[in-house]
Amino acid sequence: MAQSFVYTSNPARIVFGAGSIRQIAKELRRLGGTRALVLSTPSQHPNAQLLSEQLCTLSAGIYTNAIMHTPVAVTEQAMTIFAACGADCVVSLGGGSTIGLGKAIAYRNNAPQLVVPTTYAGSEVTSVLGQTENRIKTTVSDISILPEVVIYDPELTLSLPVQISITSGLNAMAHAVEGLYALNRNPVTSLMAIEGIRTLKHALPLIVANPIDIQARTDALYGAWLCGSVLGSVGMALHHKLCHTLGGSFNLPHAATHAITLPHTIAYNAIAAAETLTPITKLFGNNIGDGLYDFAVSLGAPIALKDLGLKESELDYAADIVVKNPYWNPRPLERKAIRALLQRSWNGSRPE
C-alpha cells in the first residue's frame, strides 16, 4: 500500500553497456570538458595511460597514485598536478579509491567529473566523500562531489580479480539491504534495492564460475549501479557505521570488511526490521543473516575479520566507537550485543 514520501533523486547522466567506453570523448565534450586529468590507482596505471592516449588532446595528463580512504596528502598532490597541466575536468577510471580522489578534487575546485567505475562499490552515484587525515576518516556531503557523468562499461570489469569481484559485490548488496530499512526510504529506492540485490545474487556465482562471462559482468554492474543509487539516496545504519569504524580507525580493506560483517549486522537488525526485509527472504530465506552467511561462504568470500589483520584485543575499542555517535538504526545499539557481534565476525562464526 502506497505511503507518503519525499524522494530527491541525484542528478547524473548514466551511460551503460558493453563497449560504452567508446563514448567517452563525446561525453566529455558534452560535459564541457576540454582537458581532463585521468586518475587511477597504481595498479591501473596502464589502463589510465591507454585511456589518456585515446582521449588525445582531450587529455591533460594522468595521475595514478589514488589509494584507499582518500588521504588528504594524496589529494593535495593531485591538485598540484591538476593545476600544473592546465586540466579543467577529471576522468576517474577505477574503483572507489580512484573515484574518491576525483570527488576530493571536485570538492575543492568544482571540476566536472566523468567517472568510469571498474568495481561494484557505488561511490560514483553518491555525493559523499570520505577522506583521511592524521589517521581519522571524516565524511562530507556536497552536490559538487556528485559526479556529473558515469560510463558503466562491463568490459572494463572483466579484469577485476574474482576475490575483489566477490567482496565488492557483497559491498554493493550491503547498500541495498540497509536501504530497505532506511528511515527515509521510498518506494523507488526500495524497488532499486530489491532489484539490485536480486541481480547481484544471480550474477556473482556466475562470475566465480567464469570471470569473463560478459552477461554476468553486465548484470553485476547493473546491480551495482542500483545498489549505489540506493546508497546515494537514503541513510545507512549499523552496518555502514561499523564498516566505517573498522576501515577508518583500523585501516581494514573496505570491500572485504563489508563482505565479512554483512551477515552479522543484518542478523542484528532483522529482529527490528523484519517487515521491510521481507522482500529479500525470497532470496535468502527467513533467517536473512544465515542466508547471507551461506551465500558468502558459497562464493568463497572471506568470513573472518581476524584474516584481515584486526587484532582480537582491538574489538573492545571498535565496539566503543561503533556505539558512540551511532547512525540511526532500526534496533538500538547495545554495547554488549555489538561486542559479541564483532567477536563472531572476527572468529568467522555464524551470525546469531
Which residues contribute to the site for ligand NAD (CB under 6 A)? Answer: 41, 43-44, 68-69, 94-98, 100, 118-119, 121-123, 126, 128-130, 156-157, 159-160, 164, 168, 231, 254-255
Q: How far is the CB of 29 from ligand NAD (least distance, A)?
A: 25
**DSSP-assigned letter for residue 33:** -
In the bound state with ligand NAD, the residue whose beta carbon lies nearer, of 228 and 263, is 228
- Burial (CB < 10 A; 0-12, 13-18, 19+), residue 35, is middle
Contact present, 240 and 178 (Cβ < 8 Å): yes
Residue 120 to residues 67, 99, 203, 254, Cα–Cα distance (Å): 17, 12, 12, 12
AA letter at 286:
N
Q: How far is the CB of 87 from ligand NAD (least distance, A)?
A: 21
Q: How far is the CB of 248 from ligand NAD (least distance, A)?
A: 8
In the bound state with ligand NAD, the residue whose beta carbon lies nearer, of 232 and 289, is 232
Q: How far is the CB of 286 from ligand NAD (least distance, A)?
A: 29
3-state secondary structure of 112: coil
Q: What is the CA radius of gyration of the chain?
A: 19
In the bound state with ligand NAD, the residue whose beta carbon lies nearer, of 119 and 345, is 119
Dist. CA 294–CA 62, nearest whole Å: 42
* β partners of residue 94: 117
Q: How far is the CB of 296 from ligand NAD (least distance, A)?
A: 16
* β partners of residue 101: none
In the bound state with ligand NAD, the residue whose beta carbon lies nearer, of 101 and 270, is 101
Position of minimal CB gap to ligand NAD? 96
**DSSP-assigned letter for residue 351:** P
Here the cell at position 144 is 559538487
In the bound state with ligand NAD, the residue whose beta carbon lies nearer, of 125 and 315, is 125
Q: How far is the CB of 129 from ligand NAD (least distance, A)?
A: 6
